Amino acid sequence: MKIIKPTIFDKEEKFEKIGLNVFNFNKRERPKDPAKIMFVFCFSEFGCESLGLMYCIPKMKKEYPDAYMIAVGWYGREYLYRHLVDEFWEVKKEHQNLREYAKAFHHTSRNLAILERSLRGKGVIVPSAYLGQYAVGARCLECGKFYDKKKAECCPQCQNKEFDPSIFDNMSEAKRGVVRVPIPSKEMLDRADEYIDDNTVGIFARGRKCYGRNLTPEFYKE
């Protein structure tokens, strides 16, 4: 007899409502037609978030050049999106614990799932996991379906064999379309110099729980 241990789910605190700070980056008027608005959710772990904003979102913008794009993401990240989208909606600081539920190009948070559903009807919803499709999936040029090129020689939906390769499968082309993070202003660089001495070594450590493989804060302090 094989004994299967029950899965223990983390009891995520339920918020009645997730507060959002809204940043508007240009003078474009938000369309009244929801079909012309795209809510792009960027609730992935920070490494994949970087891939999303440098590679995936720029590729999506080329595909939908007329869309009014609103990125929805983590607190304190608006500076990474101000050159990319029309608006950025960040979850308020008190909800930063939801980062513990961030995975690679997706999340497991019930609160964030409720937030995503609450915006249906106000625009086209693009979940975080969809950005990952650009990174790893081939996209059919006929019907637009993403699929695994290693498992199928043609599109499983329309059988078309013409496809746009994933970012990871064509990095040389992807690098030509990359939109890099803006360089900080001279004022910010000068301010950083006030804190950083010559020959300084910095250690960056993330205290994330979701994969359970991080060293303790005490280890880094020692």
Say yes or no: 119 and 210 in one domain.
Answer: no
Q: For the chain, what percent of residues have pLDDT higher than 90?
A: 62
Say yes or no: 140 and 200 in one domain.
Answer: no
Asked if pLDDT for residue 49 goes beyond 80, the answer is yes
Say yes or no: 138 and 204 in one domain.
Answer: no
Cα–Cα distance list, 156 to 133, 202, 222 (Å): 15, 48, 54
Compute the distance between CA of residue 104 and CA of residue 23 in angstroms, rounded to an integer. 25
- Angle CA(212)–CA(214)–CA(215) in degrees, nearest 5? 135
Q: Which domain holds residue 215?
A: 192-221
Asked if pLDDT for residue 10 goes beyond 90, the answer is no
Say yes or no: 84 and 110 in one domain.
Answer: yes
Is residue 5 domain-resident?
no
Is residue 56 domain-resident?
yes
Question: In sequence order, which residues have a C-beta less than 8 Å from that of residue 19 and are 6 or more positions away?
Answer: 91, 92, 94, 95
Kind and range of the H or E element at 91?
Answer: strand 87-91
**pTM of the predicted protein model:** 0.82
